[in-house]
Amino acid sequence: MGKTGKKRVLPESAVAGVVSKGDIWAKLSLVIMGIANLRRKQIVKGCVFLFLEVSFLLYMAKSGIEALKGMITLGTQTQGWVFDEELGIDVLAEGDNSMLLLLWGVLCLFVIVAFVMTWRANLKSALEVQELEAKGKHIPGFIDDVKTYLDAKFHRTMLALPMLGVLAFTVMPLVYMILVAFTNYDNTHQPPGNLFTWIGLDNFGTILGSGGLISQTFWPVLGWTITWAVFATLLNYIGGILLALLINRKSVKFKPFWRTMFVMSIAIPSFVSLLVMKTMLQPDGAVNVLLKSMGWIKESIPFLTDATMAKITIIVVNLWIGIPYTMLITSGILMNIPESLYEAARVDGANASVMFRKITMPYVIFVTTPYLITQFIGNINNFNVIYLLSGGGPSTLDYYQAGKTDLLVTWLYKLTVSSKDYSYASTIGILVFVISAVFSLLTYRRTSAYNNEEAFQ
Footprint on residues 143-172 left by other proteins (CB under 8 A): 147, 150-152, 154-155, 157-159, 161-163, 165-166, 168-172
Establish if 190 lies at the interface with other proteins (CB under 8 A). Answer: yes
- Is 18 in contact with 27 (CB distance < 8 Å)? yes
Nearer to other proteins, 62 or 255 (CB): 255
CB-neighbour burial class of residue 310 (10 A; exposed 0-12, middle 13-18, buried 19+): buried
3-state SS, residue 272? helix
List own/partner pairs for 225-228 with CB under 8 A and 24 or more apart: 225/380, 225/407, 225/408, 225/409, 225/432, 226/380, 226/435, 227/311, 228/311, 228/314, 228/315, 228/379, 228/382, 228/407
Distance CA(37)–CA(54), nearest Å, equals 16
Q: Count other C-beta atoms under 10 Å from residue 314's C-beta.
A: 22
In angstroms, what is the minimal distance from the CB of 306 to other proteins?
Answer: 8
> In this structure, what are the phi and psi dihedrals at residue 82, rounded to the nearest 5 degrees?
-120, 130
The piece of 56-64, 68-76, 222-230, 405-413 that touches other proteins (CB under 8 A) is: 405-413
Q: Work out whether 212 is an interface residue with other proteins (CB under 8 A).
A: yes
Give the per-residue contact string, 355-394, with other proteins (x = CB under 8 A; - = no). Answer: --------x--xxxxxx-xx--xx-xx-x---------xx
Complex with other proteins: residue 43 or 316, whichever CB lies closer: 316
Position 111 contacts other proteins (CB under 8 A): no
- The alpha-carbon radius of gyration of the chain (Å, integer) is 30
The residue among 88 and 136 lying less far from other proteins, judged by its C-beta, is 88
Q: Is 416 in the site for other proteins (CB under 8 A)?
A: yes
Of the two residues 38 and 181, which places its CB atom closer to other proteins in the complex? Answer: 181
Q: How far is the CB of 188 from other proteins (least distance, A)?
A: 7
Q: How far apart are CB 46 and other proteins at their closest, in Å?
A: 25
Nearer to other proteins, 58 or 174 (CB): 174
Segment near other proteins (CB under 8 A); pick from 12-20, 64-72, 113-121, 258-266 = 258-266
> In the complex with other proteins, which residue's Cβ is closer, 47 or 208?
208
243 binds other proteins (CB under 8 A): yes
Exposure string of 192-230, with b = 16+ CB inside 10 Å and e = fewer, is bebbbeeeeeebbebbeeeeeebeebbeebbebbbebbe
For other proteins, the binding residues in 322-361 under the rule CB under 8 A are: 324, 328-329, 331-333, 335-336, 338-340
In angstroms, rounded to a whole number, what is the distance separating the alpha carbons of residues 180 and 169?
17
Applying the rule CB under 8 A, the residues between 419 and 448 that interact with other proteins are 419-421, 424-426, 429, 432-433, 436-437, 440-441, 444
Residues numbered 68-107 forming contacts with other proteins, rule: CB under 8 A: 79, 87-92, 94, 99-100, 103, 106-107
- As measured in angstroms, the least distance from the Cβ of 415 to other proteins is 9
Min dist CB 389 to other proteins, Å, is 12
Contact 313, 302 (CB under 8 A): no
DSSP state of 183: B
Quick one: how far is CA 299 from the chain centroid? Answer: 44
Q: Does 413 bind other proteins (CB under 8 A)?
A: yes
Phi, psi (5° rounding) for residue 198?
A: -75, 135
Tell me 428's DSSP state: H
User: Should residue 116 be labelled a site residue for other proteins when binding is judged by CB under 8 A?
Assistant: no
Binds other proteins by CB under 8 A, chosen from 119, 224, 237, 400: 400
Question: Quick one: 52 or 373, whose CB is closer to other proteins?
Answer: 373
- Residues near 265 by Cβ (< 8 Å), separated by ≥ 6? 273, 320, 321, 324
Query: Cα–Cα distance between 14 and 124 in angstroms, integer?
Result: 6
Nearer to other proteins, 114 or 261 (CB): 261
Backbone angles phi, psi at 93, to 5 degrees: -105, 105
Which of 47/441 has CB closer to other proteins? 441
